[in-house]
Amino acid sequence: MKDDLRTDRTTEGLRHQIATFWGNADFLPELRHGVDNLRAHKLRSLLTMLGMIFGVAAVVAMLSIGAGAQQEVMAFIEQLGVRNLIVEAREATDWQVMQATRKLSPGLTFEDLRVAQANLEGVAAATARKRFKPGRMLPRPTGEMPVVYGVSTPYVGISGLNVARGRFFTEEESEAAAPVAILGQAAAAAIFGASEPLGQHVKVNDAWFRVIGITGPQLSVQSDVAGMPSQDRNNLVYVPLMAAVMRLEDSYSNIKDEIDGIYLQLAPEIDSLRSADLLTGLLNASHRNAGDFSVIAPAELLAQQQRTRRIFEMVMVAIASISLLVGGIGIMNIMLASVLERTREIGVRRAVGARRADVIRQFLIEPTLISGLGGVLGVVVGVLLSELVASLAGWSTIVTGLSIALAFVVSVTVGIVFGLYPAIRAARLDPVKALHYE
């Protein structure tokens, strides 16, 4: 019973304190008075607000740029297939380096593909890849020369390739090394322009291929991702693997590997990370640890990118918050100066019956207005800045509601926190001394 009574008294005391600060207060006159005081010192208020504007704009812009970049990379990794394993050859570009490597390893070969299929559990589909850049092509493409991918029919399912028009080559065409090709969107536009590509023929070096399909748009990244070379995946020409080997092999330099890529799709119940470790061990044994390949597990990359994104966002917010901190210091400085300028006004208010809570509330309204308006303008500037970066640099930016809300709430909180000390200092002034202050 006593505990209940004590609890009731504590609750009642808390309610009384809240009512003392907020209760029985007409905010409209105090709000109007705060606005009038800011308007009376327009330049000073604007300069103080700039710190909050730049801080909020930096938070919004950095988060939007970081979110755009991370989403682009994560979408690309998901496109690789979280149930896939990819082996990329590290091909030598120097003859001496290649010779030293070949003493240990034959490079990536069809035998490696067979070893992987025989020893890994749950391989649902697999294909090798032969990749090269042609020396010439007819019709002559505008812009950068498309890259040719020689792959097997399962590649379309492993990579999630979307054939928007026409079709992909069949298993029979793949085994017969048929001279057929599927063009990426950018490759079709570069080679044929506005003309209809389907049914047309394209000459790659000395071999002619008939176009039977056009792929849909694919995501690409501008830099290497964990061993995956940067490649415009829309500027590709897909041909049957054996057609690439038999019809285009003469154009290859003798320092190239037999194949330069292996794609494996695992069954849903198989742990891709364990399979990646096993595959790495198998290939290291046959390649004598020559280090001429890399095994890429998109599932692991996706988890790493998610962790990196969280760390990146925290770092960016911390860096941008420095601007808000500087803005908050500016607010405190201006409000301390305002307290000195309005000492007699404070004394008069206290003399006619104003309480300390009334003075605190009065001097908290102004920094709240500054930080709130600065937060709104900062959000606008931040959104415009992210759009400007996206248009000029070609980066992907994403402005989320969370980043806007976070920046605005932090801005207002900084204004209130840094305005609290000047407000308390004003409330503690001796009314008698304040009335005689000159």
pLDDT digits (tens, 9 = 90+) for 205-258: 989 999 999 999 887 655 555 556 667 889 999 999 999 988 887 644 444 568
Is 16 domain-assigned?
A: no
Within this chain, do residues 68 and 215 fall inside the same structural domain, yes or no? no
- Residue ending a domain, among 265, 291, 317, is 291
Within this chain, do residues 253 and 105 fall inside the same structural domain, yes or no? yes
Please report, to the nearest 10 degrees, the dihedral formed by the alpha carbons of residues 357, 360, 366, 372 taken in order: -80
pLDDT bucket at 198, cuts 50 / 70 / 90: very high
Lowest-confidence region among 47-56, 172-181, 380-389, 425-434: 425-434
Is 364 domain-assigned?
A: yes
Within this chain, do residues 344 and 372 fall inside the same structural domain, yes or no? yes
Which residue in 45, 31, 255, 286 sits closest to 132, CA to CA?
Answer: 255
Is 18 domain-assigned?
A: no
Within this chain, do residues 136 and 275 fall inside the same structural domain, yes or no? yes
Q: What is the pLDDT of residue 330?
A: 82
- Residue ending a domain, among 291, 314, 332, is 291
Within this chain, do residues 115 and 239 fall inside the same structural domain, yes or no? yes
Lowest-confidence region among 13-22, 103-112, 392-401: 13-22
Model confidence at 24: pLDDT above 50: no
Within this chain, do residues 108 and 30 fall inside the same structural domain, yes or no? no
Is 372 domain-assigned?
A: yes
Share of the chain above pLDDT 70, in %: 82
Is 211 domain-assigned?
A: yes
Is 390 domain-assigned?
A: yes
- H helices within 288-355, ranges in order? 298-341, 343-351
Within this chain, do residues 46 and 104 fall inside the same structural domain, yes or no? no
- Reduced to 3 DSSP states, what percent helix, strand and coil does the chain have, rounded to the nearest 5? 60, 15, 25
Is 130 domain-assigned?
A: yes
Query: Any idea what the Cα angle at residue 275 is, between residues 269 and 276, rounded to 5°?
Result: 130
Within this chain, do residues 43 and 126 fall inside the same structural domain, yes or no? no
Within this chain, do residues 183 and 101 fall inside the same structural domain, yes or no? yes
Model confidence at 25: pLDDT above 80: no
* CB atoms inside a 10 Å sphere around CB 68: 18
Is 11 domain-assigned?
A: no
Which residue in 298, 396, 390, 385 sits closest to 70, CA to CA?
Answer: 396
- Residue ending a domain, among 242, 266, 291, is 291
Domain range enclosing 357 = 26-74+305-435
Q: Is the bond preceding 139 in cis, omega lying within 30 degrees of 0?
A: yes
Within this chain, do residues 229 and 324 fall inside the same structural domain, yes or no? no
pLDDT digit string, tens, across residues 284-310: 998 888 888 888 887 777 677 667 777
Within this chain, do residues 65 and 175 fall inside the same structural domain, yes or no? no
Within this chain, do residues 129 and 277 fall inside the same structural domain, yes or no? yes
Domain tally, the chain: 2
pLDDT digit string, tens, across residues 306-359: 677 777 777 776 776 777 787 788 888 888 888 888 888 878 877 877 788 878
